[in-house]
């Protein structure tokens, strides 16, 4: 296992990681400039996870968050484990073949969102007592007012916010991979993760949109159950 991890860290990986971190931060800031209601601050992390394996993705996420915290917003600092798991899980999803077509990428994005929600909840609860410096804490505060426990309130909030962001992130990373030449991708440790499955792109895109709708419905349903319970 350790040897396999070592193989994932070839020179291409080490050179890609700083670029990926810069991509994370640059896209994150463009999104702020455009005033879009998403973060999109882990496109690079997902990219590394997919092309270089889970542990490289995890390292990218953790470093990215730390540097973001030092350079831009100190409040981002404590969240590095979330970014770590985003990289890790996208890497494992890609390894399992879940990054080869549009609709599969949507599922990957959803799983990454669940991971992010799960990883951020304990940090928000134990470090911040539930209310953080993020705008979505308005929702948490409201949910707590309605009598929900702090754990449930925080998790439901993430569950509401994360899927849109992470599915968009995964799709953006996929679009980037599609735009890279195969000979370039072949230099990275895991080119097999993004091998083309064939099939028309249009059809896949429609399926992807269908999956997004289903996932949103599923999320709403789950949320009602959590809130009801």
Partner 1 sequence: MAMHERLSFYAKRDSILHRLNPLTKLTLVFGFVLISFFAPFYWTPHLLILSGVIPLSFTGKVAREYFNASLRLILPAAGFLFIMQALFQPLEGEELFRIGFLHPTKESVMFAFANAMRIFLMVSSFTLFLLTTHPSELMSDLTRRGLPGQFAYVIISTIQILPQMQAKAQTIISAQRSRGLDTQSSFLKRAGSLIPLVGPLVFGSLVEVEERAIAIEARGFTSTKTKTSLHEIPDTNSDKMIRWILAALVLISLALRLWLS
Partner 2 sequence: MAIVNLQNVTYTYPLTHSPVLQNINLRVNEGQFVSIIGPNGAGKSTLCYTIAGFVPHFFKGELTGTVEVADNESSKSNLHEWVLNVGLAFQNPFNQISGAKYTVFEELAFGLENIGVPRDEMKVRVEDAMKLTGISDLADRSPYSLSGGQQQRVALTSILVMQPKVLVLDEPTSQMDPIGTREVFGVIRKLAEQGMTVILVEHKVEWIAQFADRVIALKDGQILLEGTPGEVLTSPILEQSGFGISRYTSVARKAQGIGLWKNDQLPVTLDEAVEGFALTPSPSPRGRGEQ
| Interface contacts to partner 2, rule CB under 8 A | 11, 18, 182-183, 186-187
Among 1, 2, 3, 11, binds partner 1 (CB under 8 A): 11
Phi, psi for 186 (deg, rounded to 5): -60, -20
209 contacts partner 1 (rule: CB under 8 A): no
Measured CA to CA in angstroms, residue 213 lies from 106, 135, 157, 171 at distances of 11, 25, 19, 15
Task: Say whether residue 14 binds partner 1 (CB under 8 A).
Answer: yes
Q: How far is the CB of 117 from partner 1 (least distance, A)?
A: 19
Q: Which does 29 bind (CB under 5 to 8 A by kind): partner 2, partner 1, none?
A: partner 1
What stretch of H or E contains 228? helix 201-228
Q: Among 202, 127, 219, which residue's Cα sits nearest to residue 166? A: 219
Rule CB under 8 A: say whether 95 interacts with partner 1.
Answer: no
Which backbone phi and psi does 18 adopt, to 5 degrees?
A: -60, -40
Chain centre distance of CA 133: 20
Site membership for partner 1, residue 72 (CB under 8 A): yes
Minimum CB–partner distance for residue 83 and partner 2 (Å): 22
Q: Which does 63 bind (CB under 5 to 8 A by kind): partner 2, partner 1, none?
A: partner 1
Angle (deg, nearest 10), helices 102-128 and 201-228: 30
By CB under 8 A, name the one of 8, 16, 55, 154 that touches partner 1: 16
| Alpha carbons within 13 A on the beta-carbon side of 101 | 16
| Tokens coding 187 | 């230099």
* Residues at the site binding partner 1, with contacts judged by CB under 8 A: 9, 11-12, 14-19, 21-23, 25-27, 29-31, 33-36, 43, 63, 67, 69-75, 77, 128-133, 137-138, 140-142, 144-145, 172, 175-176, 179-180, 184, 187
């Amino acid at each position: 296992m350790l040897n396999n991890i070592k193989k994932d860290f070839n020179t291409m990986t080490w050179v890609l990681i700083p670029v990926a971190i810069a991509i994370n931060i640059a896209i994150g800031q463009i999104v702020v400039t455009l005033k879009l209601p998403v973060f999109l601050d882990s496109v690079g992390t997902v990219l590394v996870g997919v092309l270089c394996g889970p542990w490289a993705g995890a390292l990218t996420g953790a470093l990215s968050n730390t540097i973001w915290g030092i350079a831009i917003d100190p409040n981002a600092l404590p969240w590095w484990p979330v970014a770590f798991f985003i990289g890790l899980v996208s890497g494992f999803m890609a390894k399992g073949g879940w990054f080869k077509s549009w609709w599969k990428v949507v599922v990957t994005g959803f799983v990454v969102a669940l991971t992010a929600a799960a990883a951020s909840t304990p940090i928000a609860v134990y470090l911040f007592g539930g209310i953080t410096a993020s705008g979505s804490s308005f929702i948490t505060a409201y949910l707590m007012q309605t009598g929900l426990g702090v754990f449930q309130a925080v998790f439901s909030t993430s569950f509401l916010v994360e899927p849109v962001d992470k599915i968009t992130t995964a799709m953006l990373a996929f679009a980037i991979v599609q735009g890279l030449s195969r000979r370039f991708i072949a230099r990275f440790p895991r080119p097999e993760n993004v091998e083309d499955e064939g099939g028309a792109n249009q059809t896949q895109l429609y399926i992807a949109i269908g999956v997004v709708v289903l996932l949103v419905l599923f999320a709403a349903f789950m949320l009602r159950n959590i809130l009801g319970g």
